A and B are shown apart, each in its own frame.
Chain A
Amino acid sequence: MANKSILVVGGGISGITAALEAAEAGCEVYIAEKNPYLGGRVTQINQYFPKLCPPNCGLEINFQRIRNNPRINFFTLAEVENISGQEGNFDVTLKINPRYVNDNCTGCGKCVEACPVEVDNPFNYGMNKIKAIHLPHDFAFPMKYVIKADACKEAGCAGKCAEVCEYKAIEPDMQSKTMNLNVGAIVWATGWNPYDANKLSYYGFGRFKNVVTNVMLERMAAMNGPTGGKIVRPSDGKEIKSIAFVQCAGSRDENHLKACSSVCCLASLKHATYVREQYPDAEISIYYIDIRARGKYEDFFTKVQEEANVTLIKGKAGEIEEDQTNGQLVVIAEDQEAKQVTRKSYDLVVLATGMAPSTATAAIPADMAYDEDGFVVPGAGTAGIVVAGCVKNPLDVASAVRDATAAALKAIQSTVRGQ
C-alpha cells in the first residue's frame, strides 16, 4: 500500500522548502524541527548576500504558504528517535520535547513581565539575556512562548509565569512525549552548526572579548539583535574604527573542517557592507586565501570592493594578540603581496567560521554513509531517505533551496516507487 506522505526532518530553509515543494505538488508532509520555531539558521541572519534583503521576508512568504496549505503539518521541539521500515513505508518515532507552554498561549506576553529568571539568549549566541519564558525571537513561527525549564529549576522559581497567565497556557510539569508516523519517504535537512571557534585557540576566541564570529556579527548587525543593530565592541560597547575579517577560520583546514564552507567569503563581504553603512570611515580588512565569489556573486565582490572600500590582504591571519589595557586586537599575518609580516591593530575581529554539518555530531538514526567531514554521502545508504541542503554540501541559501527542491522530487519518487 503506497504511502504518499513525506517526513521532512529539520525546519530550516532547506527543510521548509522541501516540505512546501512536495506539499504544493499534492503530498502530505510533516516537518519535525528541534527548535521551538521554524526557520532554522536563516532566522538569525540579518541580510542575505548579494541583495542585502532580509531573510524574514522570504520566510514570511514561506510561512504564509505553510499557513495556507492543508497538507503540511509541523512539529516543533521534535527530534527523530527511530526509523524503521523501508522506502515507501517508514515507521518513524518522534520525540516531542516539552515547551511547557500549551496551545492556549495567545502570545500576549504577560508571562514575560512576571518571570524573574534571566538566561543567556541562545538566539543571539548568548550576547544578551532573556527571560526564562520567552518568545524565541520577534518573528517566531509559530508565535508561541517557550520556557527554558532548567533555568527555572536552578533559580527555584515555582512558576510565577503560570500565576499570571489568564489562559492556563503554562504547564510546568509538561513531559516529553513520543509519537509515531508512517511515511513513504524522509527528507533529512538538519543543516549545519557554526564551527566551534574555541578550537582555534590561536585566534583567542573566548579569551578576547573583541574576537567574535561571523554568526555573532550577523546578530549584532540585526536591528532586533543584542545591540539594537549597532556594531560595537563587546568589551566596552564602543564604536569601532577598524575591523578585520579572518577568512577560513576553521575551513579549508585539515585540522578542522577539511572542506571549504562556500559561504564565508561572501558573508564577510556582506558584513563589510554592514560596517561601511554604520561607519563611513572605518578601516575594513579581509584576510583571505582565495576569495570565493563564484558565478554571479562576482558582481557582489566587485561592488563591495568599489563601494565599501575594503582592504583585501592575501594571507591567512596567523595569530591574534590582545592588548589587555584597551582590548585592541593585533592581527598578525603574512601580507604576501606586500611581502611582509604585518601586525595591525583592530577594534574588532570577526572570525569567518564555517559550516560543520549537523550530521557530524548527530547522525541520522538509519543506515547512511558520511564523508570525512560528516556530510552525508548522497545516494548511499537507506533508499527513501533523501538528504537536502547543508547536511550534504556547504551551501549558500539559494543553493540550499535549489537542493531542497530537488530533494522534494526525489522524495516523491520514493513514494511512487514504494507503491
Chain B
Amino acid sequence: MRYSYYPGCSSEATAKANAHSIEGVAKALDVQLEEIPDWNCCGATVASGVVGDFTQLVVTARNLAIAEAKGQDVVTGCSSCYMTLAVANKKFKEDEHFRTMANEALSAAGMQYNGTLQVRQFLDVIYNDVGLEKVAQKVKKPLKGLTVAGYVGCQTVRALPYEFDDPEQPVFMDRLIEALGATPADFPLRARCCGSSSTIPARDIVLDLGYKLFESASSGGAQVMVTPCPMCQLNLDAYQKLVNRKYGTSFNIPVLFFTQLMAVAFGLSPEAQALKYNIVSPHGALLQFAK
C-alpha cells in the first residue's frame, strides 16, 4: 500500500506527535507514505476568508498537481488539510468551469491538475484499506480496561458529508478503539466543534466548547481522549488548564492522536508513541500499557 503523503504545517511544530506516530503506525502496518515534494500550506479554513475560495483552492491544488505525477492517493493526517484538499479535489473532478480556471492559474507556475487522484485521511486508510482485523492483529498490549473518548471532531466527517461515515454520529473511531482492546466512552459530542480557529482571536469560544467536550467525555467515563485532528489536539490539550480555570473544574484528560494510542497498543518505540509532546500527561492513564 503506497500513498502520497501530505504532512501539513502543524507536523513541523505543534503536532509533531501526530507526524511521529503516523510514521510509526504506518510502518507497522506496511503502509508506505511518500511525502509530496515541496508541498505548500493548504491555507486551512482561514485563507479563503482573505483571498476567497478560488485562490485558496488553487493554492491547495498545487499540492495535488505535484502529487498527480505519482498517481497515488493523497493521504493526510490533518483534518483541516484534508478538508481543503478534498474539497479542491472534488471541484476539479466535478466542476468543469472551475477546473479550466484553476488550471489557468496553476499554469502560471507551469503546473496543472486533472483531478485523477483521491484525497484520503490516514484514519480512512487504516479503517478501509488496512482494515481493523489487521490492526487488531498488531496489538501487542491490548488496552484492556481503558475507556477512551473517540473525539472525531468536525471537519473529518463533514468536509464531504456522508462520503466517509455519518456526519453527526460517526462510528469508525469507536470501532478502532475497540480493535485496540479499549472501551469507547459514551460520548455524544464526538463530532462537535472544539472552536479551534478561534483559539487566538476569540479564546472564550474555544474554552466554552472545550468545557462542553470535557464534560461530555468525562461523564461518559473517558480516561483518555483521542482525535485525528492536530487543531483539536492542541486546543484540548494546551487549553485544558484554562478551561479548568474558567469553569473551576479539574479535568485531567490526556488528549492523544489516535495514532499515538495505536503506537502504545502496538508496543512501538517511544519516538512513535511521542507521548513527551503531550501537555496533559498521559502517563498516568497509560502507565500499564506504555511500559
Contact = CB atoms under 8 A, between A and B. Distances in A.
A201 B169 contact: yes
Nearest to B186: A324
A202 B161 CA distance: 13
Contacts of A201: 166-169
Interface residues of A, number: 4
A64 interface: no
Interface in B136-176: 161-162, 166-169
Nearest to B219: A324
A207 B169 CA distance: 10
A152 B191 CA distance: 41
Interface string A194-232: 000000011000010000000000000000000000000
Nearest to A206: B169
A154 B162 CA distance: 34
Contacts of B161: 255
A202 B168 CA distance: 6
A98 B167 CA distance: 40
Residue from the set A201, A202, A207, A255 with the largest chain B CB neighbour count within 10 Å:
A201
A396 to B, nearest CB: 30
B247 to A, nearest CB: 20
Contacts of B162: 255
Nearest to A200: B168
Nearest to A202: B168
B239 to A, nearest CB: 25
Contacts of B169: 201, 207
Contacts of B167: 201
Nearest to B161: A255
A124 B167 CA distance: 30
A62 to B, nearest CB: 41
Interface in A226-275: 255
A202 B169 CA distance: 8
Nearest to B169: A201
Contacts of A202: 168
B289 to A, nearest CB: 30
A201 B166 CA distance: 8
A372 to B, nearest CB: 16
Interface string B191-211: 000000000000000000000
Interface string A387-419: 000000000000000000000000000000000
Interface in B29-56: none
A201 B158 CA distance: 13
A201 B152 CA distance: 15
A419 B168 CA distance: 57
A255 B166 CA distance: 12
A94 B166 CA distance: 37
A253 to B, nearest CB: 12
A127 to B, nearest CB: 23
B232 to A, nearest CB: 20
B124 to A, nearest CB: 19
A295 B168 CA distance: 38
A202 B167 CA distance: 9
Interface in B244-278: none
A76 B168 CA distance: 40
Contacts of A255: 161-162
Contacts of A207: 169
A289 B51 CA distance: 35
B161 to A, nearest CB: 7
A202 B188 CA distance: 10
A181 to B, nearest CB: 40
B50 to A, nearest CB: 29
A343 to B, nearest CB: 14
Contacts of B168: 201-202
Nearest to A198: B166
8 contacts: A201-B166, A201-B167, A201-B168, A201-B169, A202-B168, A207-B169, A255-B161, A255-B162
The 4 closest A-B pairs by CB, nearest first: A201-B168, A201-B169, A202-B168, A201-B166
Interface of A: 201-202, 207, 255
Given A201-B166, A202-B168, A255-B161, 5 more contacts: A201-B167, A201-B168, A201-B169, A207-B169, A255-B162
